[in-house]
Structure 1
Amino acid sequence: MPSFEKIEVRLLLINLLTKMMFCLWQTRLSAVLAGQAAAAIANLDIVENENIPDQARVKGELLREKIRALDLPAIGEVRGIGMINGVQLVKNRETREKFEANAGFAKRVSYLGWENGLILRPLIDDGLQISPSVVITEKQFDELVAKLGASIDQAYQEYCSK
């Protein structure tokens, strides 16, 4: 049974789309908007029926555990919510010492990840954002974590050899 909040969101969406259709009725876009409203409601049904928020929570925590298990010296912290995850890269894990501002360590890891077939988003202060789709499989998780580990390790070896 849908919760009160889900019903309220659905009613607000229907109300908003109804008002938009009424306003645009004379421009003959109402049929298009009606189709979009139906699609939006169908998407809400999928999110509810397949329990997407819980899947994101469980899979996100699994991903963070696997990244922590890499136990690499350049990984300072792994955090996130759902499938939106961040990895803080550090020069020294024990002291949490950061890389020099001009080192561009996260950018280098992101570039190496790209070469390995992994899309990473470098953030300021040497962080990485990793946001896989909620439909990711266990095998894909393992592949993602292996490529991430290889990219971080290679960038760290390059940095240490300078």
Structure 2
Amino acid sequence: MVLFIQSVILCLLFTIVIAFKYFKNDPMKGLYNYPPKIQERVKSMEEYQGSIPTRNNKIVAKMIGGVIFVFLGVLLARVAGAEGFLEAFIHMFILFTIGNLYDLIVIDWLMFRHMKGFRIPGTEDMVSEYHNYAFHFRAFLRGIIIGFVISIMVGLIHMLIF
């Protein structure tokens, strides 16, 4: 039951973060989460010169997110009553996989494809790229690997601390 509640909260928080990032802020901050053809178009457009994030920005942001996710995962595993490496690892991997599936199905395949807030001005005509299921599925598969690594770290830290 704790895992279910944590999963629902995680998905709700994820939706809020994504909505804020793209609708209240600027979809350009997530440029590298777009299919390559959209990235190429944006990079070639004069109006975006100087506002395109660098790949280093993306890497730093993902590393900070990973560290936050590891420490949050340790806390969530503890709240769930995990004892030892294996229980913490499994708890975190299931939680991460649920979030990853939610990202794929709800955020990428439903929202990203159909909501205009995700469209970068000047790329609205690239409908087939916004509907690129394979791009998002490959990201999902990378997410499984990332989730596995993060879950190992959560299990190790949980084992050392508790």
Aligning the two structures, in what range does the TM-score lie when normalised by the shorter sequence?
under 0.3
Larger RCO, structure (CA 8 Å, separation 6 or more): 2
Higher share in strand: 1
Higher share in helix: 2
What is the TM-score of this pair, normalised by structure 1? 0.24
What is the TM-score of this pair, normalised by structure 2? 0.24
